C-alpha cells in the first residue's frame, strides 16, 4: 500500500531528487531494526548493515535480498548507479564501490525516502 508523500518526499522519491547533506535524523539512528521504503513500506536495509560513511546521508554496505534494483544514471555529467525500491520504483539514492567489507559497497541513501522500524517496538 503506497503512502501519501509530502512535497519534499515526492521530489526525492518520485523525481530523483536529493535531500540536503546531514539533514536526515536517520543519520544518528543506531537502534536495531529495519529501514523501509517511505512510499510503499518494502523492507530495504537492516540496521546491521548501516555505517557512518561521513557522506552526510545514511549509508549501508548491503541491501536486503531482492529489495532494490540498480539502474545506470548518467545525469549530472557523471556515471553512477541509481538505487530504487524494487516494489514501487521509488528513487532511494546511489550505490558506490567505496564502502567497507564485506561487500565494498556504499549505498548512499536519502533519509527522506526511508522510515525506520525498531525491533521490539
Letter string b/e over residues 9-34, b meaning 16 or more CB atoms within 10 A of that residue's CB: bebbbeebeebeeeebebbebeeebb
End-to-end CA separation in angstroms for the chain: 21
Q: Which of 28, 25, 38 shows the shortest CA–CA distance to 92?
A: 38
Residues with catalytic function: 108
Kind and range of the H or E element at 41? Answer: none
Q: How many CA atoms lie within 13 A of 49 on its CB side?
A: 21
Amino acid at each position: 500500500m503506497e503512502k501519501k508523500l509530502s512535497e519534499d518526499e515526492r521530489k526525492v522519491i518520485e523525481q530523483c531528487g536529493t535531500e540536503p547533506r546531514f539533514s536526515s535524523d536517520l543519520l544518528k539512528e543506531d537502534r536495531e531494526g529495519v529501514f523501509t521504503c517511505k512510499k510503499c513500506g518494502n523492507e530495504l536495509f537492516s540496521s546491521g548493515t548501516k555505517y557512518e560513511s561521513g557522506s552526510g546521508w545514511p549509508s549501508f554496505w548491503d541491501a536486503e535480498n531482492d529489495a532494490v534494483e540498480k539502474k545506470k544514471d548518467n545525469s549530472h555529467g557523471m556515471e553512477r548507479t541509481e538505487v530504487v525500491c524494487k516494489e514501487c520504483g521509488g528513487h532511494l539514492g546511489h550505490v558506490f564501490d567505496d564502502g567497507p567489507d564485506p561487500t565494498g559497497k556504499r549505498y548512499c541513501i536519502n533519509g527522506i525516502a526511508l522510515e525506520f522500524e525498531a525491533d521490539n517496538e
